[in-house]
Structure 1
């Protein structure tokens, strides 16, 4: 099998985890194993807007 054939299911799982956040721990483990790593870390940054005296997430 080619490398792309091995990576396509993992890419699909990454997109799936984008919609179902609870899948990220398993997907990061799969990604780590695929590249020979020891683990993975994912963080997000929320943007906030101060509008009319209130903070709104954007």
Structure 2
């Protein structure tokens, strides 16, 4: 979102917006995998929350 345009503003002119998108792509994939893991195994998150409350 906004970080893309900020990075485009501070990056050298030879760096394109597409380069910035592709640079961030692996991190988006990691976040998607984490979200999928949370959907498949929600008991892991609930276990941690219950442990912290005790």
**Would the TM-score normalized by the shorter structure come out above 0.5?**
no
Q: Quick check: which one's strand share is greater? A: 1
TM-score by length of 2: 0.35
Larger Rg: 2
Whose helix fraction is larger, Structure 1's or Structure 2's? 2
Answer 1 or 2: higher relative contact order, Cα 8 Å, separation at least 6. 2
TM-score by length of 1: 0.33
